Structure 1
Amino acid sequence: MKLKRAWKGIAAALGVGVLVSAMGACGAGGADGSKTTLTFLSWNNEQVMRPYIDQFEQQNPGIKVDFSYSPPTPEYIQTLQTRLVGNQAPDVFIITSENKADLIKNGYVRDLTNEPFMRNISQANKDFVSHEGKVYGMSVSSWASGIVYNKDLLAKAGAKEVPETWDGFLQLCKKLKAAGVTPFLETIADGPSRIPDAFMGSQFDRDKVDVTSLIDRRPQKPGSDQREAAAAWMKLYDQGLVTRDTVGISGDDMKTQFINGQVAMICTGPWDLPSIGQSGLKYGMAPMPLMEKGMVNYAQGSPSPAYAIYSHLKGDKLKAARKFLTFMDSHWALQRSADNGDAITVQGFKAKVKPEYEQVYRANVQPGHYFLLMNFYAKPDVLTTVRQSETQQLVQGSINLDQWAKAIDDKMDSVK
C-alpha cells in the first residue's frame, strides 16, 4: 500500500516583523561575491537549524545559507505564498500536507524523483509528497501514535499488555471498568480521535487502495471512506467504555490524568513519552489494536514535513540546493535529528528510540505502516475543521454515523 503529528492550534495573526524579515532575507545577495547564496525558509527556528547550517557551510565553503523562519502552520504557509507570488521565492523550503497540493499544481516545486539523495528515502515518506508518480520533497523522519498503558492498573484486570485486536481491547476495557478502573481516555477537543485513522490505514491496505490517488478523486468522500473505521471506533462510546466528555478534554488534560493514575490507557504519540517517563510511572506503549484479525497493523502517524527545491532554480543555485538536501540526508544531519528526538526512517540509518517506543517504531514507523487522513485528501484545512466539528457531535450522540459521513462529504464537495 502506498502511503505523518497533527498540528495543534497556532496564533492566527502573521507577525509583520516576521514577514518583513523573511522578505528582506530572500532578496539579499551574498556579501562575498565568490559565494553562492542559498535562501532557505524553514518553520524550525534558527536555534534548531543553526547547527545544520553551520556544518553545511563548513563542508561547502563556497555556499552561504541565507536563513529565514516562519512558524507552522498557517503563518508559514502564508509567508511562503507571499514570497512565491511576489517573485521572492526561497531556494529551499518546506512542503507538507497543508500546502503540497497548491505547490505541485502551480509548478513551484522541483521533481526530485530521480535525485541521488532520494535513493534511501522510505517509500511512505515519498508517497506523502507524491503526485502522479513523481516525488516533490525529501522527508527523512516519521511519527506514529499508539496505546500508552499503566502497567499496575492493567494488572488489576489480569493483563500485562494491550491486546492485539480491537475486540480484545474492548474486552480489556470492560474488565478494567468492572475492576473499578477507568479503562481508556482520548481527546476529542484537540482533534478527531487517532484510532479511526489507524483503522483506515489497515482498511486501505486490505483493499489495496493507492492513497496517493485520493486527492484526485471527485467528489471527495473522506466521510464515506472512513465510515467503516469510525463505526468500529465508536464501539468505545456505544458500549459505555469511554466518557463522552472527551469532547472537552485536551491532550494535556488526558496526559495529566494518566500520569496521576486516574486512567489505565491513553492514545498518544512519542512527544508525550518524556514527561510520562519523568513522572516515574510504570508504563509501556503498544501499537494500535487491529480493527480486524488478519489485517496489517497501522497507526495514526505521518512522515515529517519535507524539504523542497524551488522549481525555477538553475545553475549554481540549483547545484547549491541539491548539495543542501544531500547534506540533510547525510549521516551527520540524520544523527543530529535523531539526537533531537526525531524517528529517522531513511534506509540504512540505524536509529535509537526510547525503549517504550521501540515496539511502535518497529511495527509502524520503520515499515511505513501509518496513516493520517488529512495527508491524502484535497483541502486538508477544510477537512480538518469539518471532521473535528462533526466528530464532536458524533461522540455527544447528536448525530449518527451516516449523518457524520454525509456532513463531511457534503462539505468537501462544496469546496472548489
Structure 2
Amino acid sequence: MKVKNIVRTVAAVAAGAMLIPLAACGGGTAADSGKTKITFLSWDNEQTMSPFIEEFEKENPDISIDFSYAPPTAEYIQTLQTRLVGNQAPDVFIITSENKNDLIDNGYVLDMTGKSYTEKLSQANKDFVSRDGKVYGQSISSWAAGIAYNKELLKQVGYDTVPSTWDEFLDLCKKLQDNGVSPYIEAIGDGADRIPDSFTGAILADKGIDVTTLASKDPQTPGANEKEAVKAWMKVYDEGYASRDNVGVSGDDAKTQFVNGQVAMYCTGAWDFSTFEQAGFDWGFAQIPALDKNHEQYAQGSPSPGLAIYSKLDGDKLKAAEKFLDFMVSDWSLEQRSKNGDAITVDGFESDVTEQYKDVYENNLKTGKYFLMTNFYSNPDVLISTNNAEVQQLVQGSITADQWAENIDAKMASAQ
C-alpha cells in the first residue's frame, strides 16, 4: 500500500555508487559450496527481505540467495539498467510501471504466463505487468485511495458515511458548506488528483477497453481518455466545495487540516491511517463515489511492483528462481507480507486490514476495480510531470478540461 510521486532522475554518480557491493544474504561462503546460487536485486531493504530469504533457504537448503539493494525509484531503475547492459543481470529483480516497457521491449524478462507462481494473482495485478496477453511479473498486493471522513461532522448534516455517487457527494458537500463546515480537501500541491483516475477506470471498464492496450495505441491519448472524468471532478472546484488554494496544499497540510477538524473529507489512502488513529477522533474511510449510477465505484489505485526473472536463465538457476517465486506466494510469505502492512490481492488469501479499510479492500482491491493512469502508458515519467503541472493550472482555473487534455496528449506525442 505504498504510493509515491515519482520523477525519474538518471544520475551517473548515483548509479556508480550503487555498483558498490551491498550486504548479502546467502551465497558467497564456503557453506554454500555445491548450492545453486541466485542473485536478487530488490528495492525493499535487507531488514524487510531477510525473513523471506532465511525462510526460503531453510526450506530449500540446496539454494542460496545473493541479495543486493538499491532504493526506489530512480536509483533502483538506473542500477538495474547498468547491470543489465553490463552483462551482470540479477536473476530476480523488480518490474514496475517505470521500467516494465523497457524490460519487455528489450527481452530482459521471462514470460510467466500460466506459471504456478502467477496463476493465483488477481487479474488486475497480472494486467499491471502484462503485454499482449503475456505476464512478465509477480505482483501480489495493491493499494487504493478512498475518502476519509470525520463522522461527527457528517452527522451534523444527517449522513453516516460518504454517498455512493458523485452528484450525491456534491450534495453532501453543499449541506456541509451551508452548515458552516469546509467540505473537502485534496493535496494538489503533491499532484494528488485521485478522483479522475477512479472515474476513468469505471469508464474504460464500461466500454470494455483492455487497459493493457493503452500503451500500444499510436498516438497515446491519456488526456482524451480521462477528459470526461476530469470534467466531472472539476465540479467540486467550480461549485466552490473545494478551495482552488489546494494547488499549494501538500499531503501533510491536508492531513493536518483533516485531523484538526477543519475539513470534513479528505481523499487519501491507508498510508495516513496511523496518523488518524493517533489523533483520537472518530473517522471513517469510504469508497470513492461512482461517476454516476451507470458506472461502478472504482478507486484510484495500483498493484505493487512485481518480481521478474531474467529471461536468459536456464537449467538449475531458472529452477531455483522459479522456486523462489513459488515461495513468495506461499501462505508463509503472504502472511508475512500482510503483517508488514500490504493488502494482499492473491486468490484465496485474506489480509487482516483495519476496519475502516475493509470496504475498499473487499470492493476495490480484491475485485480489481481500481485504476492509475500512469501505469498503462509508455513514458510514465513524462505523464506524471506533465499532469502535475497541468492539474495545477486546471484547479487554479487558468485552463479548461479540454485544454488540459490537449496539453497532456501533445506532450505525450512529443515524447514518443
Q: Distance in 1 between matches of 2:136 and 2:281?
A: 43
- Note the 1:147-226 alignment, pairs <5 A: 147-226=147-226
Tell me the CA shift for residue 377 of structure 1.
Answer: 0.7
Q: TM-score, normalised by structure 2?
A: 0.96
> Which range moves more in the overlay, 269-278 or 97-106?
269-278
Q: In structure 1, the residue corresponding to 2:157 is in which secondary structure?
A: coil
Q: In structure 1, the residue corresponding to 2:77 is in which secondary structure?
A: helix
Tell me the CA shift for residue 17 of structure 1.
Answer: 3.7
Tell me the CA shift for residue 408 of structure 1.
Answer: 0.4
Tell me what 2:42 maps to: 42
Q: Distance in 1 between matches of 2:320 and 2:361?
A: 33
Tell me the CA shift for residue 308 of structure 1.
Answer: 0.3
Counterpart AA for 2:359: Q
Q: Distance in 1 between matches of 2:7 and 2:66?
A: 25
Q: Supply the RMSD in Å over aligned alpha carbons.
A: 1.7
Q: Distance in 2 between matches of 1:143 and 1:382?
A: 23
Q: In structure 2, the residue corresponding to 1:213 is in which secondary structure?
A: helix
Tell me the CA shift for residue 294 of structure 1.
Answer: 2.6
Q: In structure 1, the residue corresponding to 2:109 is in which secondary structure?
A: coil
Contact 2:7 2:381 in 1 (8 A): no
Tell me what 1:356 maps to: 356
Give per-residue Cα distances to partners, 1:245-267, cap 9 Å, x unaligned: 11111111111111111110000
Change (3 A) 1:293 1:368: same
Tell me the CA shift for residue 378 of structure 1.
Answer: 1.0
Contact 1:25 1:39 in 2 (8 A): no
Tell me what 1:8 maps to: 5
Q: In structure 2, the residue corresponding to 1:66 is in which secondary structure?
A: strand
Tell me the CA shift for residue 301 of structure 1.
Answer: 0.4
Counterpart AA for 2:132: E
Tell me what 1:285 maps to: 285
Tell me what 2:306 maps to: 306
Tell me what 2:139 maps to: 139
Contact 1:145 1:269 in 2 (8 A): yes
Contact 1:37 1:65 in 2 (8 A): yes
Tell me the CA shift for residue 277 of structure 1.
Answer: 1.2
Q: Distance in 2 between matches of 1:169 and 1:163?
A: 6
Contact 1:148 1:267 in 2 (8 A): yes
Tell me what 2:337 maps to: 337
Give 5+ residue unaligned stretches, structure 1.
none
Tell me the CA shift for residue 5 of structure 1.
Answer: 4.9
Counterpart AA for 1:337: R
Give per-residue Cα distances to partners, 1:202-258, cap 9 Å, x unaligned: 100111111100010000110111000000000011111111111111111111111
- Note the 1:84-123 alignment, pairs <5 A: 84-123=84-123
Q: In structure 1, the residue corresponding to 2:19 is in which secondary structure?
A: helix
Contact 1:184 1:242 in 2 (8 A): yes
Q: Distance in 2 between matches of 1:15 and 1:346?
A: 34
Tell me the CA shift for residue 103 of structure 1.
Answer: 0.3
Contact 1:92 1:321 in 2 (8 A): yes
Q: Distance in 1 between matches of 2:15 and 2:273?
A: 32
Give per-residue Cα distances to partners, 1:15-50, cap 9 Å, x unaligned: 64433225x979x86643311111000011111111
Q: Distance in 1 between matches of 2:29 and 2:129?
A: 31
- Matched pairs, number: 411
Q: TM-score, normalised by structure 1?
A: 0.96
- Note the 1:223-302 alignment, pairs <5 A: 223-302=223-302
Tell me what 1:69 maps to: 69
Percent identity at matched positions? Answer: 57
